[in-house]
Structure formats: structure tokens, C-alpha cells
Structure 1
Amino acid sequence: MSESIVDCQIAVDFPTLPTQNDLERWTTAALARAGEHSRHELTIRFVDESESRTLNRDYRARDKSTNVLSFPFEAPSNIELPLLGDLIICAAVVEREAIEQAKPLMDHFAHMVVHGTLHLLGHDHIEDDEAERMEALEREVLASLGIDDPYAERTVSPDAPAGEGGAGEDERPYA
């Protein structure tokens, strides 16, 4: 049976963040659907736009805040540890995207956690075929949690602000 242990770090003053139970439920669902049937540990850190921008600039050469960053743990070849790595989630960007995309905030947080967890497991979306497989897996995980397809067309609020964070027109929306 899949199990996740999440070390939650909150480095931002934000009114509504997922609970520890939410984080463990979402990561465990991602692990199970990805075929991981053992215990895994990861850190999820909620940050402000400044920290997100700094990390995105330093590690991805993109000088803007972003919704989620994934940092897989790479153990030496002779050591096996249950550590997956770290997820950095910018709460303000996730909130802005949820408004722009007319999604419930917690559903979008769940999507970012699932998306990031799949990255930690080695999934990617650089090539179109990889993206299709990863997005299909995300849909399956989220559906198992009772969350609507995050890629379905939605009516976007005309009052939604155009944010500086998140995806640009020429890139996939998730790191």
C-alpha cells in the first residue's frame, strides 16, 4: 500500500492553505496511481512570490514566480532512502491561477501537489507525448479524489486579474 509522509513547511502568511491531511491524501493518491506501493517522504514548502521567483530564477533560469517547483532527492547509488524530494508551492500564484481558471482553490492546490509529486517520481512534460501521459495520470489521480479534470475548458471570470506568475503563452503551465 502506498503511503506518504509529508513535512509541511509554511514560509508565507496566507489565509487558506491545505491541511496536513490534505497533503498526505493527495500525495498518497499520486503515489498509488503511479504504481508506487511503498512509503515515501517528501517536503512541501509554501512560499511567497519572492522566494518562488528566486528559486525559479536560480534553478530554472526563469525570473518570475511560479506555481510549483519540484526538487527530486538523488541518493548515492549505494543508498536507498524513501525520500522523494521537495515541492515548493507559491500560494499567491496558485490562488491567482485558481481565480483566472475558475477553479476551487483547494482543487488547484491538489492539482499542484499531484503534479509536483509526479515530477518527483520522474514524470515530465517536456515532449508532447510525455505531457499527454503525465496529464492523463494527473486526471486519474484527481478523479480518484473527486476533483474535476484540471485541463477541461472552463468559463474564465472576466474579472480575473492577469497575473505575472504561472505560465506564459509559450510554456506548459507547471514546472
Structure 2
Amino acid sequence: MNNLDISFNDEVNFLKNDDKDWIPWITNLLLSAKKEINKKNAQEMSINFVSSEKIHEINKKYRGKDRPTDVISFAIEDGLDEDFMAAFNDDPDFVEDIGDLFLCPEVIKRHSVEYETGFNREFGYTLVHGYLHLNGFDHIEDDEAKVMFGIQGKVLREYGLPLHPDQENHGKQIH
């Protein structure tokens, strides 16, 4: 249940922070999310820490949004038939490649100041949010948002990173 292999690509030296050992912090938070969504099979993913300029470029190219953002997720299994994938989920040797996250610490830091949430909370929020997208969750429709933000809130609360009150009550992002 707890096998999660994460490859890190750090273009902005985020992980070299002397004050915090981010890799176990990230891994444990995502393992909590994995447990909450009841993913039993092993998973692998990549996390890429990029600059504001790089994420702006990715956001414009793949999402048509001409601005930097905090996270972009590229799920490997987007659009794959659920019945097809279900056949593999019961195989204990199956390792699911869920995709790639691109995170911009600069934008996350800016959001943490703007929303007065603190960096660790905002970073955790963004990380779990992206991870849930890689696992097929979305928040386009209100019912989807309620499920996704409910899971996200529970994981973050249990990790000591509570959601903003607006997010707790309405299942919506404050940003």
C-alpha cells in the first residue's frame, strides 16, 4: 500500500534548502494521500521544480493560459478506459505510472503570502492537489470539487496543514 516511487527534477535548487529535508516530507504527505484514496498498487511519478518562466511557458503551451501557475499535472492515464485499468489494479506486481507534476516554488511562495497560509501549508496544498489530479480527480463540476477538496482537506488536516476556512466550508479554492 505504501509503495510510491518519486523521481525528482529540481531546476531551481528547491530541494537543497538547508532548513528542511523536503524529500521525506513530500513522500510522507503523498503516501497519506495515496492511502486516503485507497490506491493499493505501487505507483511512480515525477516531481519537477521549475522557475516561474518555465511554468509560464508550460501553462501557455499546454493549457492556453498566458501566466505562471503553482502546479501543472500531466496524468499518464488521462482518457484511458477505467475497466481496462481496473484489470491491472488487482495485480500486486503492477506499478502504475501516474504522471508528472510541475511545481513552481516561486508562485507557491507568492500564494502563501497572498493568502496568508504559510509556505508549508501552501506547498502541501499544491502538492496534494496535483497528486489527486494525477489520480483522476478533478474539480470542474461542483460534485467533483466537493469530493476532491474533501479528500484534500482530510489529508492536509491529518498532516497538520489545515485548509483555509473558505475551502473547508465550500470545497472551493481560494485561488
Counterpart residue number, 2:67: 64
Counterpart residue number, 2:3: 3
- Shift in Å at residue 113 of structure 1? 0.9
Of 14-23 and 85-94, deviating more is 14-23
How many equivalent pairs are there? 157
How do 1:152-167 and structure 2 match up within 5 A? 152-153=165-166
1:119 partnered with 2:133:
yes
Alignment gaps of 5+ in structure 2:
89-93
Letter in 1 for 2:152: E
Decide which of 147, 155, 162 is 1:133's aligned counterpart. 147
Counterpart residue number, 2:48: 45
- Shift in Å at residue 2 of structure 1? 2.8
How do 1:85-100 and structure 2 match up within 5 A? 85-100=99-114
Does the 8 Å CA contact 2:166/2:174 hold for their aligned counterparts? no
Of 109-118 and 79-88, deviating more is 79-88
Greater fraction of residues in helix: 2
Counterpart residue number, 1:144: 158
Letter in 2 for 1:11: E
1:30 partnered with 2:22:
no
Of 123-132 and 4-13, deviating more is 4-13
TM normalised by structure 1 equals: 0.80
- Shift in Å at residue 81 of structure 1? 4.0
Does the 8 Å CA contact 2:9/2:46 hold for their aligned counterparts? yes
Instruction: Please report the RMSD computed on the Cα atoms of aligned residues, expressed in angstroms.
Output: 2.6
Secondary structure in 2 matching 1:82: strand
Letter in 2 for 1:94: I
1:12 partnered with 2:15:
no
Matches of 2:23 and 2:10, distance apart in 1: 11
Letter in 2 for 1:42: M
* CA pair 9-65 structure 1, distance change in 2 beyond 3 A: same
Does the 8 Å CA contact 1:18/1:106 hold for their aligned counterparts? no
TM normalised by structure 2 equals: 0.80
